[in-house]
Amino acid sequence: MESTTSLRPRSIPDIPADPTKEARTAIWVAAIAGLSLLFDGFDLTVYGTVLPGLVKGGSDALGWWSSGLSGGQPIPPAIAGQIGSYALVGVMIGSLTAGAIGDRIGRKKLILVGIAWFSLGMFASAFATSIAFFGTLRLLTGLGLGVLLATAGATMAEFAPAGKRNFYNAIVYSGIPAGGVLAALLGLALLNQIGWRGLFMLGATPILFLFPMALTMLNESPRWLLSRGRVDEAVAISRRTGIPLTEHQQFGGVPVAEDLHLEQKTGFAGIFSRRYLVGTVFLGFMSFSGLLLTFGLNTWLPAIMGGHFQEAGMGADAAKRYGLIFLLLLNGGAVVGGLIASMVADKAGPQRVIITTFTLAALSLTLMTFGFPIGLLLASIAVAGVGILGTQVLIYGFTSNYYATHVRAAGVAWCSGFGRLGGILGPLIGGWLAAAGVAGDTAFYVFAGVALFGALMTVLVPRPAKGHSDREQLEAEQDVAGVAA
C-alpha cells in the first residue's frame, strides 16, 4: 500500500469544461461502470435465486466433495448461508486490495481486471460438482466483484459533471439492484429450463462484450493522472473528453502551477489521517448496515416468503414463484427509488436523504410482519427495496464524493470492503435463523433494527475537515452539502 505521493508539479493549460464532450464522456463512463455493476449485482443475487432448489436437493444437486448427492439430499440451511457468504468474503478482499493499489495504478486497469476475473469465475462455478469446489469458486469470483465495486464509484466521480455527481453515481450503483432484478427475472423465466448452472453461465458473458467495450471506450481519469504528476496525459485526455483542468487546479492544497515538491498521504493512510478518520469510521458502519440488509434479504427473502406462503396453504411451486417475485420487487424498488432519491440528494444533500431511506427501510420491514393481504405485502417490499438497496446506492455515491482524488479509490474501497463484513454476516444471520426454526417475523424485526443502526451512523458522519483541499474537493464538499457546484 502506498502511503505518500511525491512529484514536482508544473503549470498546466487552462482547459475549461466542454459541456457537450463532458456529458458524452460521462454517459459512456456511466454505461461501462453501470453494466459492470449490473453483472456484479446479478452474480451476487443469483445465488439467492437458485438457493431454494439447492437447499432442497435433486438430480443436479452439489455433493459434499465430489459428485451430486445420491438421492437428491438437501443442503442444510446453515451450510447454504455459509456458501452465500463466501462470495462476500472475496468481495471484501478484492475491495480492500483495490483500495490499496487503486490510487497508485489507476482506474481503468482495475476495471478491466475486475470484469475478466469475475466472468471467468462465474463460468468455472457453473461446472462445480461439489459444495467445497463451488464455495471456493464463489470466494474467488468475489475478488473480481470487489475490485469493480471499489473502482466504479471512484471512476464515475472523476468524470461526472459538477452538481450531478450523486445522480451519476446512483446510475452506476443502481446496476447492483438492477442485476438483482435481472437475476430474479431470469430465474422466473429460465431456471426450470436451463437450471442453476445455465444462470451462472449467463453471468460469465461480460467478458465477451463488456471487456472489449471498456478496453476501447474507457479513458483513464485526467484528475487521477494529474494527481500522479502525469500532466501531459491529463491534458490530452481532458481535451478529448471535455473534463476541465485549470491553471489553478490544486493538488494537496498547493496549486499545480507552483514548482514545489509535494508529499501527501494516499491510499488507506490518507483516509485514516486526521482529516478523514471520523468520517471514515462512520461511513464504514453505514455501509456495514446497508450491505447486511442487502445480502441478508437477497439471499433469504425467497426462502422466507416461500415458507410463509406454504404455511398459509399455498402450493410449493406457487410459493417459490412468489418468493422470486418478492426478490424482483425488492431490487426493482431500489433501482427506481435510488435514482429518484439521488436527484433529491444533489439538491438537499445525500446525508439527510440516507437517514430518511434507512428509516423507511426499518418501517417497511416492520410492516411485513403485520399479515397484510398480498398486495400490501408486495408494496411494502418494494418500499423496503428503496430503503435497503437504494440506500446502499446513495452510500456509495456519498462516499465517492466525500474524498479527494488522491484517496478516493481507498475511500470507496473501505466503504465496500468494511461493508462486506455486514454482507458476509447477512446470509449467515438468515441461515442461523432458518436453522433455529425462527419465524420470518423475527427475521424482519432483526433487519429493521439494523436499518435503524445505519440511520444513526449516518447522523454521526461529519463533513470533511477544512484545511488543505484541492479544487475538486471543494466542489465535492459542496455536493456533500447539497449545494450546486
Q: Which of 169, 213, 157, 269 is nearest to 28 (CA)?
A: 213
Q: Chain centroid to CA 74: how far? A: 31
Give the Å distances, CA to CA, from 427 to 82, 150, 380, 420, 430. Answer: 7, 21, 21, 11, 5
Q: What is the CATH number of domain 16-481?
A: 1.20.1250.20
Interacting residues of 238 by C-beta distance below 8 A, sequence separation 6+: 15, 222, 244, 245
Annotated domain spans of the chain: 16-481
pLDDT of residue 474: 46
Q: Give 437's DSSP letter.
A: T
pLDDT of res. 211:
96
Find, among 139, 19, 35, the residue nearest to 87 by Cα.
Answer: 139
pLDDT at residue number 4: 44
pLDDT recorded at residue 306: 61
Q: What is the pLDDT at residue 314?
A: 64
Alpha-carbon gap, residue 83 to 138, rounded angstroms: 8
DSSP label of 71: G
Residues 28, 214: contact at Cβ < 8 Å? no
Quickly tell me which residue has 399479515 as its cell.
371
Q: Which three cell numbers stand for residue 382?
A: 418494494
Residues sharing a CB contact under 8 Å with residue 403, sequence separation 6 or more, in sequence order: 270, 271, 276, 410, 411, 412, 464, 473, 476
Would you state the pLDDT for residue 5? Answer: 45
Taking the CA atoms of residue 165, residue 171, residue 177 and residue 179 in that order, the dihedral angle to the nearest 10 degrees is -140
Cell of 479: 455536493
- Contacts of 228-236 with CB under 8 Å at 24 or more apart are 228/5, 228/7, 229/7, 229/8, 229/9, 231/9, 231/10, 231/12, 231/256, 234/12, 235/12, 235/13, 235/15
Which one, of 414, 463, 453, lies nearest residue 281 by Cα? 414
Distance CA 226, CA 249 (A): 10
How many CA atoms lie within 13 Å of 179's alpha carbon, on the beta-carbon side?
Answer: 33
Rounded Cα–Cα distance for residues 107 and 99 (Å):
11
> Sign of the C-alpha dihedral, residues 108, 111, 114, 118?
negative
* 411 touches 280 (CB < 8 A): yes
Q: How far is CA 347 from the centre of its chain?
A: 23
pLDDT < 50 positions in the chain: 1-9, 59, 65-72, 247-263, 467-474, 476-478, 483-485
DSSP string, 44-58: HHHHHHHHHHHHH--
